[in-house]
Structure 1
Amino acid sequence: MNLYNIKHPEQQVNFAQAVRQGLGKDQGLFFPATIPQLSNIDELLALPLVERSQKILAALIGDEIPADKLNAMVKNAFTFPAPVVKVADNIYALELFHGPTLAFKDFGGRFMAQALATVRGDGKITILTATSGDTGAAVAHAFYGLDNIDVVILYPKGKISPLQEKLFCTLGGNIRTVAINADFDACQTLVKQAFDDEELRQAIGLNSANSINISRLLAQVCYYFEAAAQLNTEQRQNLVVSVPSGNFGNLTAGLIAKTLGLPIKRFIASTNANDTVPRYLQTGEWQPNATVATLSNAMDVSRPNNWPRVEELFKRNGWQLSELGSGALNDAETETALKAQYAQGYLCEPHGAIAYQVLKDQLQTGETGLFLCTAHPAKFKESVERILDIELPLPEALDKHNKLPLLSDEMDNDFATLRAYLLK
């Protein structure tokens, strides 16, 4: 598999290098030089999730990884379902929260851990990543206990839900977690500064597990095919997908699926008050505001890292950005949407509620709507209980961590301090 750096196309790497390196020169994102057009979509959709995903990832990655190894990577990573559930007339939910950390990040995090273990070579590896909520847990659990791989996760102090925090800040061992006294964008900036420090990168074998790592992104392509496989032929032909969007990796993966030939009519990027992309699509002006804290904290991102990949795909495929739907909800509107879903008999959480409402508002006659449910409602227990006036039991995966003490360190938004911490 050949990939290039979007900022510096002359920098080209193979899949193994991209996985090990994470980011390219000048913090550029790696992107596949070619994406094949699959001709056997109906045959693929007839297969089970794991077998289908093995074929999709083999088509994307090529023969760089032997088939038996790639098949084992997929089988070890995708050990849980992604069911499609009917919510309203012509509107369905793709539930991506049935993995070990109850969030969609389990797909990408677990596949990346398998990929890195396969291509790592010799020497120490330090995974440094920032999380606005769910990435931290998925990465921490995927890499927990792996030999010679240390993980450092930065998150904005007080700006993720208590249960999200407990899920990845109670492990210890090779997992270190740092609460940064700033917002998520500041955490991302610290990660980027670390990757720009060549001496530091070499000293600790720096790598990233954010959606900037191509292995995570490619894994996420597979559940769009899984969603289509659970719909009938007529529904697939008029399928509109609403993606709750923060760092825009999820949308990028969906667009790759469409590029491969999956019949998706159009996408909708659904955000909260951190609405940089919806405003950009309306005005043509890229004007990020200061990040604000919302009920849907995993989307509290005003400078989405993956947006260059989205634009690259539109440019390469000859698509117009005007074809990309978008919408944003504030917290009051999110609460109203969550209540509307519950009144219809579907229990959701703030991120899925936003994707549902924006989809409902923009769905046209004859279209089938699908929105992504990216986390289990219990991960937002406090807000969901308050909004819906219900009591939510904790799933066992959350309950056992909720009883454990936090092991996080606290740090100001200062790269020199972080650098010293990483070199310890």
Structure 2
Amino acid sequence: MQLTNLKVAEQQVNFRQAVLQGLGEQQGLFFPDALPQLDLEPLWQLDLVARSQKILGALLADELGQELVDTLVANAFNFTAPLRPASAKQYCLELFHGPTLAFKDFGARFLAQCLSAFAGEQPLTILTATSGDTGAAVADAFYGLDNINVVVLYPDGGISELQEKLFCTLGGNIRTIAVAGSFDDCQQLVKQAFSDPALKAQFGLTSANSINIARLLAQICYYFEALAQLPEAERANAVFAVPSGNFGNLTAGLIAKAMGAPIKRFVAATNSNDTVPRYLQTGQWQPLAVYNTLSNAMDVTSPNNWPRIEALCQRQQWPLNDLAGERVDEAQTAAQLQWLFEQDYLSEPHAAVASAALSRQLQQDEVGVFLGTAHPAKFAGAVESILQIELPLPQALADANAKPLLSDNMAVDFSALKAYLQQHLS
């Protein structure tokens, strides 16, 4: 596979290089030069692992060999992604049945397998920012791996307590930093680190955010999983609503469509941090200050993956306005969560945002799929308050909740981050 830096077209790399580098020159994103067209009919009869091996093999086998691709996928995707009816016209694709109860397990575990296979004896440092679920998925996926250190930045007070407990209690090769700022601030610190050649070389920096192409490609697979579980007659009329923050999830869905997935259209569902819906409506890219919401993993106003979406739409000759953008505010999120509960489906704020967007968008002949990106118990405070119920904690959350936090604190200061890396990793 050949990939090109979207900011510096002269920089072209293969998949291994893209995974190890994370970001390209000038903080550019790597994107595949070409996407294969899949033979769909045989795929629908396979299970998640076998289907994903075929999908990712079509992208990577020419470089890695199918045997290695098969091993990477089998080791990463050792859990299910069921499609559940949520109402008369909506399904939820539940992506929270992995070890950290969030969709990020797909990408983080595949990335960890790739880096472990590619790095050999070369020490690496995973430096990443999280708005909630990435941190836990990355920490779990890399915990205890030889020659790999992990440093996770997150907004202090900007994620749920249970999210924090899942990845800030591990220790060992996992270090976590609570930054006195927003997720966008954390993300900018990571970008600055990757733009420092000496720092990058000294610590073998690479990224585990959705900016890393391995995570992005892994996420393609569950769109095909949703389609495989839909009744055959409904596949061609499926509309996917994606709860969107950094927009990696939606990027993966659009790649799946470009590879042949029969998805009718997409809805980009955001909370009040609505840079993209406003852009789609007005053509003006105007990020505002971050607004803290119930769906905190989507509290992002400068989504990193947007250049990939624009590049893909341009290549496919898809008008950007074919992509629907919907802003769902706090009152609407709570109301949709309550409505889903009345339909006998228990959800959480991020998925409720996507479901609310579907409720506005679905036409009579369409069926909706919204992505369930996290287990409701990860947002127990909000869910219990809105629905007036008590949620039992899954065992993984209960175990983590009993442990002390091990995080350090830091200002939004790149020099402080450099000093931290020198102190703890040298």
Identify the TM-score tier after normalising by the shorter chain.
over 0.9
Deviations, residues 118-146 of structure 1 (Å, cap 9, x unaligned)? 11143210000000000000000000000
Counterpart in the other structure of 1:315: 314
Partner Cα separation in structure 1 for residue 121 and residue 282 of structure 2: 49
Letter in 1 for 2:74: K
Matched letter for residue 420 of structure 1:
A
Residue number in structure 2 paired with 1:8: 8
Aligned to 1:212: 211
Give the paired residue count: 423
Offset at residue 91 of structure 1 (A): 0.9
- 1:131 maps to 130
Please list every run of 5 or more consecutive structure 1 residues that lacks an aligned counterpart in the other structure: none
CA displacement at 1:90 relative to structure 2 = 2.0
Offset at residue 197 of structure 1 (A): 0.4
Shift of 1:42: 1.6
Partner residue, 2:29: 29
The CA deviation at 1:403 is 0.1
Match of 1:80 in 2: 79
| Partner-residue secondary structure (3-state), 2:79 | coil
Q: Secondary structure at the match of 1:289?
A: coil
Q: Deviations over 1:189-223 (max 9, x none)?
A: 00000000000000000000000000000000000
Matched residues in 2 for 1:247 and 1:423: separation?
Answer: 29
SS in 2 for 1:128: strand
Write the mapping of 1:50-89 to structure 2, written as runs, cut at 5 A: 50-89=49-88
5 Å-filtered alignment, 1:139-154, equals 139-154=138-153
Report the secondary structure of 2:177's partner residue: strand
Q: Would the aligned equivalents of 2:241 and 2:369 in 1 still touch at CA under 8 Å?
A: yes
SS for the counterpart of 1:88 is coil
Question: Take 2:233 and 2:26, find their aligned partners in 1: how far apart are those partners?
Answer: 45
SS in 1 for 2:144: coil
Indicate yes or no: 2:389 matched with 1:390.
yes
1:332 to partner: Cα distance: 1.2
Distance 1:18 1:260 in 2: 20
1:230 corresponds to: 229
> Separation in 1 of the partners of 2:93 and 2:72?
23
Superimposed CA distance per residue, residues 247-285 of structure 1 (whole angstroms, 9 cap, x where no aligned partner): 000000000000000000000000000000000000000
Whole-angstrom distance in 2 between the partners of 1:221 and 1:291? 28
Q: CA deviation at 1:234?
A: 1.5
Distance in 1 (alpha carbons) for counterparts of 2:225 and 2:191: 33
Q: Distance in 1 between matches of 2:301 and 2:273?
A: 5
Q: Residue type of the partner of 1:178?
A: I
Contact 2:61/2:69 (<8 A) preserved:
no
Counterpart position of 1:367 = 366
Distance 1:322 1:64 in 2: 35
Helix, strand or coil at the partner of 2:71 = helix
Q: Where in structure 2 are the equivalents of 1:238-257 lying within 5 Å?
A: 238-257=237-256
What is the TM-score normalised by the length of structure 2?
A: 0.99
Aligned partners of 1:245 and 1:59: how far apart in 2? 27
* Amino acid of the structure 2 residue aligned with 1:213: N
Q: Within 1, Cα distance between the matches of 2:6 and 2:233?
A: 37
Please state how far the C-alpha of 1:366 moved relative to its aligned partner.
Answer: 0.7
Provide the residue aligned with 2:111 in structure 1: 112
Structure 1, residues 272-331: CA drift from partner, whole Å, max 9, x if none?
A: 000000000000000000111100000000000000000011000000001001101111
Aligned partner of residue 153 in structure 2, secondary structure = strand
CA distances 1:359-411 after superposition (whole Å, capped 9, x unpaired): 11110011011000000000001111011000000000100000000000001
CA distance in structure 1 between the aligned counterparts of 2:213 and 2:408, rounded to whole angstroms: 29
Return the offset for 1:62: 3.2
AA of the residue aligned to 1:244: P
| Within-5 A mapping of 1:325-404 | 325-404=324-403
Distance between the aligned counterparts of 2:59 and 2:422, measured in 1? 36
Letter in 2 for 1:323: D
Letter in 2 for 1:17: Q
Match of 1:412 in 2: 411
1:41: which partner in 2?
A: 40
1:102 matched residue in structure 2: 101
For 1:159 and 1:420, the matched residues in 2 are separated by: 24
Distance 1:201 1:45 in 2: 43
Counterpart of 1:110, as a letter, is R
C-alpha separation in 1, matches of 2:60 and 2:358: 32
Unaligned runs of 5+ residues in structure 2 are: none
C-alpha contact 2:129 2:183 (8 A) present in aligned 1: yes
CA distance in 2, matches of 1:240, 1:51: 25
4+ residue runs over 6 A deviation: none
Report the AA paired with residue 357 of structure 1. Answer: A
Confirm or deny that 1:269 pairs with 2:268: yes
Counterpart secondary structure, 1:387? helix
Taking the TM superposition and a 5 Å limit, the aligned residue runs for 1:162-173 are 162-173=161-172
* Distance across 2 between alignment mates of 1:62 and 1:76: 17
For the residue of structure 1 that corresponds to 2:74, the secondary structure is helix
**For residues 221 and 254 of structure 2, what CA distance do their matches in structure 1 show?**
12
Q: Amino acid of the residue matched to residue 2 of structure 1?
A: Q
Distance 2:24 2:354 in 1: 32
Kindly provide the amino acid, as one letter, of the partner of residue 293 in structure 2: T
Give how far 1:48 is off. 0.8
CA contact (8 A) 2:57 2:66 kept: yes
- Partner SS, residue 189 of structure 1: helix
Shift of 1:63: 1.9
Deviates more, 1:329-338 or 1:177-186: 329-338
What is the TM-score with the length of structure 1 in the denominator? 0.99
Match of 2:289 in 1: 290
Aligned position for 1:91: 90
- How many Å separate the matches in 1 of 2:222 and 2:63? 23
Alignment partner, residue 299 of structure 1? 298
1:180 and 1:155 map into 2 onto residues whose CA distance is 6
Shift of 1:66: 2.3
Q: Name the aligned partner's letter for residue 265 of structure 1.
A: K
